[in-house]
Structure 1
Amino acid sequence: MISATRQILLAAVGGFALLTGAAFAARTYYLSQRGQLTDRYTKAIGLLGSDKLTERIGGVYALEHLMIESEREHDTVVEVLAAFVRDQTAFSTPDEGHQEAESGNEIDIWLVQPRTDVQAALTVLGRRPRRPERSRLVDLSQADLTGADLANLHLDDVWFWGAKLQSARLQGARLKGANFSGADLRDAKLTHASMQGAWLYGAQLQEAVLMGAKLQGATLASIFLDLDGVG
């Protein structure tokens, strides 16, 4: 009887030790993973601040990989990339915010494009994993996105308040609930864009192409519209 009891106690102690060891190993693994994620995040942020274009692009895609792998880092990465776009394009001069081509002595607006690193950040934001997000998480207010390629990207609920989107390519983009109040959308291509419930209060839409765009429930008060330019 005593021997059986001793065996039971030894088995219980052994089982407890095994569980404790497993919990410790799991905790160690978790902390190691968190440390790796933090290190990768820090390095990516450092690349975004580089004066070399290729390194900034590398930082953008490093953050994308981090966002895909870690749901916990999703919102932080999205906010960082949106802030990067705003910072790199706000009040930009022709040689700072864009890649432009000259036609004679004047800049041809059709050839204006965001810098490659800014376009990369926009693309990553538009193809981010579909997860629950806080309201107004993607804030591109007052960003200069002239000539940006946003075609077929998922940009629901994005804030483009006061943004410059002249000649931007938005064909087939998902823009449900997006806020374009006061935005410059002149010459923008919005063919077949999903814009249900979008806010376009005071937006400039002269010569914008809206053929096939879905605008059910959109707010169109005080817009500037050239009917001859609407497809």
Structure 2
Amino acid sequence: MRRVRRRTEFELARPAVRGAGKVLAGLGLAAFAATYAVALWKMPAWMGLQGKQGDAKDRHNARLLVVSAGGAVVVAVSLLYTARSYRLSRRGQVTDRFAKALERLSSTDIDARLGGIHALAHVAADSRTHHDDVVEVLEAFLRRRTPVARPDDDSPSLAPRPPLPERPAADVQATLTTLGARPRLLERRTLDLSGLHLRQARLAVTNLHTANLQGVDLMRQTCRVWTWCVRTCRTRFCGARR
């Protein structure tokens, strides 16, 4: 359904279609004006108020009824136009917020990145259109900021290995919390967090049951998370050591 709607919006945005729409709108407005003028002139006759069957006051009231109906139509059209303008303005504001949040994610300042993560969370909550985009951006940010899990870290190696962090950084933890608390909507793809080193991440109130967690290192989690990992059967490295 979403794909059909996007396809329809794309077709309606084409210049030829927009030009035809303007022509049809002009013809419709001309037809409405002609119908309104005819109704204003003929309404007393249609109501049987011409000649001796009605006085001038009755004919005036009949035409006043036509004027009131025309005014109601104009008000309805104005409300529809106002609603459309508000929707377009709100969409532009959300898009602007989304772009500014993306700029914050690329900052070297941890506070700016945290602000960008929380801004994306608000965008996902306010706009269903940007929901999938926010999830994909946060997933890419998480993969960029999180090292790959090493299940055989104790095995001998000729090359020195950089030490893995004991716990996720503040921006990584905020991203996990945001992804776990995102609105439950139908998404175009499955959240993929496979193979990440998320040891000692705080997941007690995080819901990631639909995510792909194959090979994620979730050592030293709470018993609740351990039970959840066993039930999902999507992780190979998950312990309950505290």
> Do both share a fold (TM > 0.5)?
yes
Preserved CA contact (<8 Å) 2:195 2:215: yes
Q: Which of 101, 124, 128 is 2:182 aligned to?
A: 128
1:20 maps onto 2:71 in alignment: no
Identify if the C-alpha distance between structure 1 residues 172 and 152 changes in structure 2 by more than 3 Å, giving closer, same or farther: farther
Aligned-pair identity in percent equals: 34
Residues of 1 paired with 2:220 and 2:135: CA distance?
21
Equivalence for 2:214: 161
Residues of 2 paired with 1:21 and 1:75: CA distance?
33
Identify if the C-alpha distance between structure 1 residues 32 and 170 changes in structure 2 by more than 3 Å, giving closer, same or farther: farther
Residues of 2 paired with 1:204 and 1:113: CA distance?
15
Larger radius of gyration: 2
Residues of 2 paired with 1:142 and 1:196: CA distance?
18
Q: Which of 195, 205, 224 is 1:172 aligned to?
A: 224
Residues of 2 paired with 1:46 and 1:168: CA distance?
34
Equivalence for 1:100: none
Preserved CA contact (<8 Å) 2:218 2:237: no
What is the identity, as a one-letter code, of the residue corresponding to 2:221? Answer: R
1:6 maps onto 2:56 in alignment: no
Equivalence for 2:43: none
Tell me how far 1:63 sits from its aligned partner. Answer: 0.8
1:142 maps onto 2:195 in alignment: yes
Can you give the 5+ residue segments of structure 1 that lack an aligned partner in the other structure?
93-106, 174-189, 210-228
Equivalence for 1:151: 204
Identify if the C-alpha distance between structure 1 residues 59 and 156 changes in structure 2 by more than 3 Å, giving closer, same or farther: same
Residues of 2 paired with 1:14 and 1:56: CA distance?
52
Identify if the C-alpha distance between structure 1 residues 73 and 171 changes in structure 2 by more than 3 Å, giving closer, same or farther: farther
Q: Name the SS of the counterpart of 1:29 in structure 2.
A: helix
1:198 maps onto 2:233 in alignment: yes
Preserved CA contact (<8 Å) 1:86 1:142: no
Tell me how far 1:22 sits from its aligned partner. Answer: 0.5
Residues of 1 paired with 2:140 and 2:220: CA distance?
20
Deviations, residues 82-129 of structure 1 (Å, cap 9, x unaligned):
11101112459xxxxxxxxxxxxxx997x7111111111011111222
Equivalence for 1:219: none
Q: Name the SS of the counterpart of 2:183 in structure 1.
A: coil
Q: Which of 131, 146, 151 is 1:74 aligned to?
A: 131
What is the identity, as a one-letter code, of the residue corresponding to 1:26? Answer: A
Residues of 1 paired with 2:147 and 2:237: CA distance?
19
Identify the structure with the greater helix proportion: 2
Tell me how far 1:47 sits from its aligned partner. Answer: 0.3
Residues of 2 paired with 1:17 and 1:42: CA distance?
37
What is the identity, as a one-letter code, of the residue corresponding to 1:129? Answer: P
CA RMSD in angstroms, aligned pairs only: 2.8
**Count of matched residue pairs:** 174
Residues of 2 paired with 1:4 and 1:82: CA distance?
66
Deviations, residues 49-75 of structure 1 (Å, cap 9, x unaligned):
111111001100111112122233222
Q: Which of 158, 172, 188 is 1:118 aligned to?
A: 172
Identify if the C-alpha distance between structure 1 residues 142 and 82 changes in structure 2 by more than 3 Å, giving closer, same or farther: same
Tell me how far 1:131 sits from its aligned partner. Answer: 2.9
